[in-house]
Amino acid sequence: MGLALVHGRARAGVSAPPVQVEVHLGGGLPSMSIVGLPEAAVREAKDRVRAAIQCAQYEFPQRRITVNLAPADLPKHGGRFDLPIALGILAASGQLPMAPLRDCEFLGELGLTGELRAVDGVLPAALAVARTGRGLVVPAANGAEAALAADVDVRCARTLLEVCALLGRGRALPRAQAPEAVDTPGPDMREVRGQAQARRALEIAAAGGHHLLLIGAPGCGKTLLASRLPGLLPEASEAEALEAAAIASVSGRGLDPARWRARPFRAPHHTASAVALVGGGAEPRPGEISLAHQGVLFLDELPEWDRRALEVLREPLESGLVTISRAARQSEFPARFQLVAAMNPCPCGWAGDASGRCSCGPDAIRRYRARISGPLLDRIDLHVDVPRLPAAQLRPDAPEGEGSAAIRARVEAARAVQAARAGTLNARLGQAATMAACRLRERDQLLLEHAVESLRLSARSMHRILRVARTIADLAGSAGIGTAHLTEALGYRSLDRGAAALAA
């Protein structure tokens, strides 16, 4: 009949919707057309496929060939359909049997010699194929990534000819093997000298999933501290790690299968645009906030960022999700990250330093800090001053601080308490759950209300203070929030105190 059907997968955000590649050979002058909303790279597949089939010593049919990529309203991008199209042409022309095509899906870009080249978004495709019960054939360069998906039989091929040998003669392809996980030790807190308050704030942020702002003079250790946060977080679960790996897979920047369990740490430059942070493009790709999913996003020199770029963080900080809307469709990317930001206290960077070298007036400091909007600051739970250390504390023989492993053990214990109580981290509690888990005694409630009035805090800030206090109590093994826990949480609002002082 001259009709064949091959299963493939498209890429839409971090999902991989199924695509049926239908190939029909009809009468008329020899030609080949591809329909089904293909973009330029997909339309160009006809030239790659023709050369690959001929190099594999098969006959390219001299008939009218119509390739339909269904569903027709789903945009098709990239070279991932080259292999299904080539197999469909060979099956429709009777050069390959059709029966083996029913139980397998195919992904891969073809070179003119028939070589199979890697494509992006293979991991989401493998996870989707696992739910169908079919097998999956991918280029050898994508084998390690696809093998991260469990419960799917993934086979690797280097050329079109090897795939044809599988379908036509039953010659088995090698099974994809996931590489052994590489456990590369990250930066350790043991290397951080002094900075007791900042170290404590990092532990609280790790235990409760809170966002953190470090404020200090140049060279005081803000970046050093921020880079240690991933080492304090518990190891990601398999589901969390696969979510983050799937985002890296579709980003076009590559996924290292050996490090797929490592929590991401993203530190974009302050000249990055809003699109670079949130994602976008004609074919939407994830941005930095999604690439930091289940990990840490570090923004250094926070006031130097473009105001519009910072404002796009506000909704993802609350929802953990970013939606990119285009004229034809929307793409959703998860963005559940921990924000760590760093800034100088004033334009010259030395306000409050014991050396007295700051020459900035109150108006200059106010304008500098006003570059960060109040709604964004409301969403950052911990504001911590990082002072410049005396030179004596930086000597090589100075005592080392506590290591990351010991701190991580306390963090894991506190997170276990939170999971048993509410099923989520304290930073992600909703309003009703916050009121239920963060009850205060009457005198502590009055203390909180007085602080909210004197610092001119919003209701959102008040709830975040309560959640931080709940985390501090969890680290201390306390069933309730005590006065010491609440006062410590209030102490981590240094920027609010500074704003109130400047306003006065």
List C-alpha distances in Å: 204 to 1, 212, 404, 469. 68, 10, 13, 9
Q: What is the pLDDT of residues 51-83, one digit of tens each?
A: 999 999 999 999 999 999 999 989 999 999 999
Q: Are 83 and 120 in contact (CB under 8 A)?
A: no
Mean pLDDT of the residues in the chain? 91
pLDDT value of position 496: 63
Q: Indicate the domain borders of the chain.
A: 3-169, 189-417
Q: Are 76 and 37 in contact (CB under 8 A)?
A: yes
Alpha carbon 308 to chain centroid, angstroms: 21
**Percentage with pLDDT > 70 across the chain:** 97
Tokens of 455: 């610092």
CA–CA dist 295, 264 (Å, integer): 5
Instruction: State pTM to two decimals.
Output: 0.89
Q: What is the pLDDT of residues 187-205, one digit of tens each?
A: 889 888 888 899 999 999 9
Give me the architecture of the 189-417 domain, per CATH. Answer: 3-Layer(aba) Sandwich (3.40)
CA–CA dist 88, 107 (Å, integer): 13
The sign of the torsion formed by the CA atoms of 411, 214, 240, 144 equals negative
Quickly tell me which residue has 């006003």 as its tokens: 370
- Number of C-alpha atoms within 13 angstroms, CB side, residue 139? 21
Q: What is the pLDDT of residues 356-412, one digit of tens each?
A: 888 888 899 889 988 998 889 989 999 999 988 877 777 777 777 789 999 999 999
3-169 is classed CATH 3.40.1160.10: no
Alpha carbon 454 to chain centroid, angstroms: 38
**Other CB atoms within 10 A of residue 347 CB:** 16
